[in-house]
């Protein structure tokens, strides 16, 4: 039930590498963790005996349901701390990761659930990634570059790829920050610049170059409800 810092790092890394149900390779995981393939093999054996993953030598591996559950717990802690650091302690979006990497290993369930409540049950971290709730459920995430956002859909800024001073200056001038609501009104084919709206009566245009560095996310609430209804 309780895992070491190292074990948690492996579990989380495997979780991130196996998009959906793909199998993960030893080398890929070693690269991700900046360690050696031999070390990975050692840990795989350990995690297998702890019944957290499917693993057949030379054949790759992936988390089993229990492993995914554990991984979601770690992701939840990581992202809640990121949210806390950015929202309450005013850390920059690019500074939160490393500190959260340490805080995520503090295991107390009560701590995390209370923190979640204190923060108002946020559903996305400062990078726009969804935060699992205390049952491990995540909201639908649909993160795209601003250039790919469909017209007339209100999305929220979730992150910025290029965090240079120049880019940040531009964002600051336009009052764009994490969480800002944003909507694409029109796309100009000539230079692929975008006419956007960030609030009532606030319209301006933004270059393709800037837009492709801005990530936004939006929830597919309606579609999701329909599916839920159908299956009910």
Partner DNA sequence: GTTAAATTTTAGGCTAATCTAAAAATAATT
Partner DNA sequence: AATTATTTTTAGATTAGCCTAAAATTTAAC
Q: Which residues bind a copy of itself (CB under 8 A)?
A: 85, 88-91, 95, 98-99, 102-103, 106-108, 110-111, 114-115, 118
The residue (of 89 and 177) whose beta carbon lies closer to a copy of itself is: 89
Distances (CA, A) of 171 to 167, 206, 214: 6, 10, 10
42 binds, among a copy of itself, DNA, none (CB under 5 to 8 A by kind): DNA
Q: Which residues contact 133 (CB under 8 A, 6 or more apart)?
A: 76, 116, 121
Cα 29 to Cα 36: distance, rounded to the nearest angstrom: 9
Contacts of 77 (CB under 8 A, 6+ apart): 103, 104, 105, 106, 112
Please tell me whether residue 39 binds DNA under the rule CB under 7 A: yes
Q: Which region, judged by CB under 7 A, interacts with DNA, from 29-37, 64-72, 159-167, 222-230? A: 29-37
The yes or no reply on residue 60 touching DNA (CB under 7 A) is yes
> Among 138, 68, 81, which Cα is nearest to 108's?
81
Piece in contact with DNA (CB under 7 A), picked from 14-22, 34-42, 166-174, 201-209: 34-42
Select from DNA, a copy of itself, none the partner in contact with residue 43, using the beta carbon and a kind-dependent cut-off of 5 to 8 Å.
DNA
Minimum Å gap between C-beta 145 and a copy of itself is 30
- Closer to DNA by Cβ: residue 45 or 114: 45
40 binding DNA? (CB under 7 A):
yes
Is the CB of 118 or the CB of 188 nearer to a copy of itself? 118
Nearest to 125 by CA among 115, 45, 64, 135: 115
Q: Name the residue nearer to DNA (CB basis): 25 or 180.
A: 25
Beta carbons of 6 and 43 less than 8 angstroms apart: yes
Nearer to DNA, 5 or 228 (CB): 5
C-alpha dihedral sign at 39, 40, 42, 43:
positive
Q: Decide if 145 contacts 210 (C-beta within 8 A).
A: no
122 binds, among DNA, a copy of itself, none (CB under 5 to 8 A by kind): none
In degrees and rounded to multiples of 5, residue 83 shows phi and psi of -60, -45
For a copy of itself, the closer of residues 28 and 99 by Cβ is: 99
The nearest distance, CB 113 to a copy of itself, in angstroms, is: 9
7 binds DNA (CB under 7 A): yes
Cα separation, 205 vs 196, whole angstroms = 6
Contacts of 156 (CB under 8 A, 6+ apart): 124, 128, 179, 180, 181, 182, 216, 217, 218
Give the interface with DNA as residue ranges (CB under 7 A): 4-7, 9, 25-28, 35-46, 55, 57-60
């Amino acid at each position: 039930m309780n895992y070491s810092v190292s074990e948690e790092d492996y579990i989380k890394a495997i979780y991130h590498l196996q998009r959906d149900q793909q199998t993960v390779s030893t080398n890929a995981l070693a690269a991700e963790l900046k360690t050696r393939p031999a070390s990975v093999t050692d840990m795989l054996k350990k995690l297998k005996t702890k019944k957290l993953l499917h693993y057949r030598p030379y054949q790759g591996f992936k988390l089993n349901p229990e492993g995914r559950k554990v991984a979601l717990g770690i992701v939840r802690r990581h992202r809640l701390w990121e949210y806390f650091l950015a929202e309450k302690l005013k850390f920059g979006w690019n500074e939160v990761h490393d500190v959260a990497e340490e805080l995520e290993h503090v295991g107390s369930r009560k701590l995390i659930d209370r923190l979640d409540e204190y923060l108002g049950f946020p559903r996305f971290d400062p990078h726009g990634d969804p935060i699992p709730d205390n049952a491990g459920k995540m909201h639908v995430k649909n993160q795209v570059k601003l250039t790919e956002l469909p017209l007339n859909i209100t999305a929220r800024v979730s992150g910025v790829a290029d965090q240079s001073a120049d880019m940040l200056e531009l964002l600051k001038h336009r009052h764009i920050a994490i969480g800002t609501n944003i909507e694409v009104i029109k796309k100009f084919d000539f230079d692929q610049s975008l006419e956007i709206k960030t609030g009532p009566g606030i319209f301006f245009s933004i270059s393709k170059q800037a837009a492709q560095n801005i990530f936004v996310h939006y929830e597919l609430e309606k579609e999701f409800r329909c599916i839920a209804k159908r299956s009910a």
